Structure 1
Amino acid sequence: MSSAGRLLALAAGELKLPWRLRVVPVCSSTEGLLSQWLASAGAPPLAVLARRQRHGRGQYGRSWQSPPGGLWLSAALPWQGPPPTDDPSQLPLLVAAELAAELAGLAAAAGAAPLRIKAPNDLMVGRRKLAGVLTSAVWRGAELQQLRIGIGLNGRHPIRPPGITLEQWLGAGRCPPWPRLALMGLRALERLACRDQAWDTGRSCR
């Protein structure tokens, strides 16, 4: 079974929300593909995952190295009710905190250094960047309709300092395979969504 097939099988059994997922081997950017999908009447929650991005985008329009081995993910979450924070600048930090919670078990098993969250949007190991988060919101008047979230997580690939990969942080052989890594990224988004919303999915959202 392909990596994409394994992810879809894991998602069907372990994720709580009615995700629609697209997995591509390479793209210019997952954010661009997500925008195209939404424009063609795709209904969230949607997520686009790429094994490699040619033009990954970071904070302030900076380029983000996105080779095979990392998690490059863009997602759209429908939203009902109050936003998760009154301060939009805090939203990337909330996502980073949920991602850190997903990775906590790996860190404990490996005896790895603790993660820390750095404003405005980074997940760090010491002074080295492990992951970055980008967010945007779609409003209708005063009501939040949708959250757009991008996650770039360094997994198992060559990287230049000050970046760090999961493989470097956890130790050789401890980075999860890509389908499991992708599942952890999606679960981090579910943690955020389920904390502040009720979903009629037939499953516990926690």
Structure 2
Amino acid sequence: MPRPPAPSGGTAWRLEIHDSLDSTSDLCLARAARGEAAGLAVLARRQTRGRGSRGREWQDPGGNLAFSVLLRPEGVAAWPVGLWPFIAGLAFHGAIAPWIRDPALLRLKWPNDLLLGGRKMAGILIESGEGRSGRWMVIGFGANLRAAPVVPGRELACVADFGPPPAPEDVARAICRELDAWMAVCGGGGFEPVRAAWLARAHPVGTGLVVRGESGQVEGSFDGLDAQGMLLLRCAGGQRRISTGEILLLEPGAAAPGTSGTRDGARRAADGD
């Protein structure tokens, strides 16, 4: 499915580029508390304290993407927070795909990751809240462009493994354009066209998954998304709807982690959810 055309209007983006920051999202959060308007976009050439979902640290060896944007709950930003991982994911995919020699290798994974060649290459962190300045939402984008950090027990990818890596500022500007385009799609047609576009760019239906949550883990196969964006997992006992959890992709023929099968059972392509 092709990307939507860029809307004639759009967000008044204001891109700031910093040589080094602790966290681009923390800067956006601080500025939001002081009343900064929607459209602030912050890029760090090096980020020293980046973070991912579930409290994990996002390591940045330099030359990669550390980028966050601030939105306000006016107009489309007032949509439920649950829609934004799909809008942000589509924007991220559209910004990265032109730099991959074989874009089919770039896949979205529920709820907030980009996989490249089956390995995690990028992730999204969405934070929202309300203060004296009103409601706000900060979306953080982290991507391995030039190098993947070495993390024991994890297999990570970078764009440089699959083609010439882009400059971080080019990706940041592309994300802003793509966000405007996909916000316009959702504003005109609701979640359904966004859902269809996300599924077209995700790993195929039938992909083996393991979902880890507070109550344990469950194994099944990817069965799409429901109308609210919840993960549908086809299990031995029937279909289950998943609202949250850590997602791991099973290699063909592998057993789930903690069961008999191949070494460790599953590729941890989703570490960092």
72, 95, 98: which one aligns with 2:91: 98
Answer whether contact 1:90 1:120 (CA < 8 A) is retained: no
What is the SS of the residue equivalent to 2:173?
A: helix
Q: Which has the larger radius of gyration?
A: 2
Label 1:137 to 1:192 Cα distance change in 2 as closer, same or farther (>3 A). Answer: farther
What is the SS of the residue equivalent to 1:33?
A: helix
In structure 1, distance between residues paired with 2:98 and 2:158:
16
Gap regions ≥5 residues in structure 1? 1-14, 199-206
Q: How many residues align?
A: 175
Q: Which moved more, 1:51-60 or 1:153-162?
A: 153-162
- With the length of structure 1 as denominator, give the TM-score of the two structures: 0.72
Q: For 1:119-177, what per-residue CA distance to the aligned partner results, in whole angstroms no more than 9, with x for missing partners?
A: 2211102331111001133469xxx9543211001111353351111111x32xx2122
In structure 1, distance between residues paired with 2:54 and 2:183:
25
What is the SS of the residue equivalent to 1:56?
A: coil
Aligned ranges for residues 1-206 of structure 1 at < 5 Å?
16-81=10-75, 86=80, 88-107=81-100, 110-138=101-129, 145-160=135-150, 161-168=154-161, 170-171=162-163, 174-197=164-187
Label 1:89 to 1:126 Cα distance change in 2 as closer, same or farther (>3 A). Answer: farther
Q: Counterpart of 1:48 in structure 2: which amino acid? A: V
Answer whether contact 2:99 2:159 (CA < 8 A) is retained: no
Q: Which moved more, 1:153-162 or 1:122-131?
A: 153-162
In structure 2, distance between residues paired with 1:118 and 1:196:
20
Q: Which moved more, 1:122-131 or 1:158-167?
A: 158-167
Answer whether contact 2:46 2:60 (CA < 8 A) is retained: yes
RMSD: 2.7
Deviation at 1:194?
A: 3.1
In structure 2, distance between residues paired with 1:112 and 1:104:
5
Greater share of helix? 1
Q: Counterpart of 1:184 in structure 2: which amino acid? A: A
Label 1:54 to 1:115 Cα distance change in 2 as closer, same or farther (>3 A). Answer: same
Q: For 1:54-78, what per-residue CA distance to the aligned partner results, in whole angstroms no more than 9, with x for missing partners?
A: 1110011100112321111111112
Gap regions ≥5 residues in structure 2? 1-8, 189-273
In structure 2, distance between residues paired with 1:69 and 1:38:
27
Greater relative contact order, per chain length (Cα 8 Å cut-off, separation 6+): 1
In structure 2, distance between residues paired with 1:34 and 1:85:
20
Percent identical among aligned pairs is 31
Q: For 1:11-58, what per-residue CA distance to the aligned partner results, in whole angstroms no more than 9, with x for missing partners?
A: xxxx95312222111111111111222223321211111111111100
Deviation at 1:83?
A: 5.8
Question: 2:201 is matched with which residue?
Answer: none
Q: For 1:97-137, what per-residue CA distance to the aligned partner results, in whole angstroms no more than 9, with x for missing partners?
A: 22112333333xx2354221112211102331111001133
Answer whether contact 1:52 1:66 (CA < 8 A) is retained: yes
Deviation at 1:178?
A: 2.9
